[in-house]
Amino acid sequence: MGRRVLITGGAGFIGSHVAQAFVAAGDDVTVLDNLSTGKRDQIPREAAFHHLDITSPDAARLVRDGRFDVICHLAAQIDVRKSVADPAADAQLNIGGSLNLLEAVRASGNGTRPQTRFVFSSTGGAVYGDLVEPPTSETSPKDPQSPYGTAKLSVEYYMGYFARVHGLDTVALRYSNVYGPRQDPHGEAGVVAIFCDRLIDGAPLTVFGDGKQTRDYVYAGDVARANVLAASATLPPASALDSRAFNVGTSIETNVVELAATLKQLSGGSSPVQHAPARPGEQLRSAIAFDKAARILGWRPAVALGDGLRHTYDWFKQRRAEARS
Ligand SMILES: NC(=O)c1ccc[n+]([C@@H]2O[C@H](COP(=O)([O-])OP(=O)(O)OC[C@H]3O[C@@H](n4cnc5c(N)ncnc54)[C@H](O)[C@@H]3O)[C@@H](O)[C@H]2O)c1
């Protein structure tokens, strides 16, 4: 029989791909989500669903009593701008909610069953800052520029504490910029989703500043596979912050102008590219090295950017056609 796997945020963009990947691996999947940005129809049919908030006592009870072998924790407030506008609300959810779950895992450890592995979705795009030349490795200096990045890094520090002092089995996956089907095109993040949506309408693609800022785009299906591998990999001891942290990215930098041009070409769309003033404080370059994930998790990105973009665009187009019919 498969493992018992809990996925928080499993109704969301990345979480739904993670849920699907565990279902495909034959595991017994449960999703916990408050549907604030996630959608119920994105949860795989095979999964059980609990409509709960990660900060609630009920969520803690589910974790404590659920006898899960693996918990993939993706539920979060993901909007960097919202974290800037209200750092306390961001921390309450992204730090407080994570602590609620970690405390519940600790409370569930009574020695009568194997340990729960806790796999946390962290960020490789928001913890390193602009200090070092990309591609950044896990041990590079940390310099989060936003409350969102600070909260993600804080949870990693807390996981180190729970691992060393209480023996919890924790791992952090630091994703670069994730793209793919089901990403929300209406948020601030997710330039691929936004561009796909606008290309379908023939609306202009807005590029901030000169568009030379780079990001590392990783396909959602590849990120889901990293979660499945992290769930069962043999890991080093959690002796320091970065010991059990893994970058999940491609090491490849792509700038926004290149991204817009590639999407325009593969979609055959006629959207003009327009430039808007640079956004203050925006990171200039970002790409993360995946050597450690390759060595220890056996993970490397499998979907090339051109293929992933085509697949994503086709998905958006198909969804639009379905909505019309
Ligand atoms: N999208 C990216 O490029 C990226 C990059 C690095 C890290 N991440 C991390 O990956 C995770 C998933 O992000 P995503 O892009 O799929 O975002 P998303 O908004 O699509 O998914 C988040 C999910 O969490 C749920 N959720 C939010 N608050 C909750 C709460 N209080 N209780 C229960 N459920 C709640 C939402 O309903 C949603 O289903 C997040 O932890 C995010 O920080 C994303």
My answer on whether 191 and 307 are in the same domain is yes
Q: Which atom of ligand 1 is nearest to the CA of 152?
A: 43
Q: What is the mean pLDDT of residues 269-286?
A: 91
Rounded distance, CA 255 to CA 257, Å? 6
Provide the b/e sequence for 286-299 (b: ≥16 CB within 10 Å): bbbbbebbeebbeb
Give distance in angstroms: CA of 143 to centre of ligand 1: 22
Q: What is the SS3 assignment for 100?
A: helix
| pLDDT tens track for 218-249 | 999 999 999 999 999 999 999 999 999 999 99
Give distance in angstroms: CA of 38 to centre of ligand 1: 8
Does the structure show a pLDDT above 80 at 121?
yes
My answer on whether 122 and 236 are in the same domain is yes
Q: Which atom of ligand 1 is nearest to the CA of 73?
A: 41
3-state helix/strand/coil string of 39-91: CHHHCCCCCEEEECCCCCHHHHHHHHHCCCCEEEECCCCCCHHHHHHCHHHHH
Q: How many helices (H) and strands (E) does the chain have?
A: 11, 13
Whether 298 maps to a domain, the answer reads no
Closest C-alpha residue for ligand 1 atom 28:
76
Closest C-alpha residue for ligand 1 atom 42:
78
My answer on whether 95 and 202 are in the same domain is no
Whether 33 maps to a domain, the answer reads yes
Please list, in sequence order, all residues whose beta carbon lies within 8 angstroms of the beta carbon of residue 160, skipping any fewer than 6 positions away. 170, 238, 240, 241
Please list, in sequence order, all residues whose beta carbon lies within 8 angstroms of the beta carbon of residue 96, skipping any fewer than 6 positions away. 55
Q: Residue 74 — pLDDT band, cuts 50, 70, 90?
A: very high
| pLDDT tens track for 165-213 | 999 999 999 999 999 999 999 877 799 999 999 999 999 999 999 999 9
Give distance in angstroms: CA of 248 to centre of ligand 1: 16
| Residues known to be catalytic | 148
Give distance in angstroms: CA of 36 to centre of ligand 1: 10
Q: Which atom of ligand 1 is nearest to the CA of 122?
A: 7
Give distance in angstroms: CA of 37 to centre of ligand 1: 8
My answer on whether 147 and 203 are in the same domain is no
Q: Choose between 2 and 291: higher pLDDT.
A: 291
What's the chain's average pLDDT?
Answer: 95
Instruction: For 140, list phi and psi in degrees, rounded to 5.
Output: -60, 155
My answer on whether 224 and 158 are in the same domain is yes
Handedness of CA 104, 32, 171, 121 (dihedral sign): negative
Q: Which atom of ligand 1 is nearest to the CA of 126?
A: 6
Residues touching ligand 1 (Cβ under 6 Å) are 9, 11-15, 33-38, 53-55, 74-78, 93, 97, 121, 123, 125, 175, 177-178
My answer on whether 196 and 110 are in the same domain is no
Closest C-alpha residue for ligand 1 atom 18:
12
Does the structure show a pLDDT above 60 at 9?
yes
Does the structure show a pLDDT above 90 at 131?
no
Q: Residue 113 — pLDDT band, cuts 50, 70, 90?
A: low
Q: How many domains does the chain have?
A: 2
Closest C-alpha residue for ligand 1 atom 2:
178
Q: Residue 215 — pLDDT band, cuts 50, 70, 90?
A: very high
Does the structure show a pLDDT above 70 at 152?
yes
Does the structure show a pLDDT above 60 at 10?
yes
Does the structure show a pLDDT above 70 at 110?
no
Tell me the pairing of strands 254-255 and 214-215. Answer: antiparallel
My answer on whether 234 and 88 are in the same domain is yes
Q: Residue 114 — pLDDT band, cuts 50, 70, 90?
A: low
Q: Which atom of ligand 1 is nearest to the CA of 35?
A: 37
Whether 45 maps to a domain, the answer reads yes
Token pair, residue 112, equals 């009568």
Give distance in angstroms: CA of 171 to centre of ligand 1: 17
Give the model's pLDDT for residue 112.
Answer: 55
Rounded distance, CA 121 to CA 173, Å? 5
For residue 157, the Cα-to-chain-centroid distance in whole angstroms is: 18
3-state helix/strand/coil string of 186-200: CCCCCHHHHHHHHHH
Q: What is the pTM of this model?
A: 0.97
| pLDDT tens track for 29-70 | 999 999 999 999 999 999 999 999 999 999 999 999 999 999
Which of 184, 165, 196, 161 lies closest to 37, judged by CA?
A: 184
Whether 147 maps to a domain, the answer reads yes
Q: Where in the sequence is the domain holding 48, given as residue range(s)? A: 4-177+219-248
My answer on whether 255 and 244 are in the same domain is no
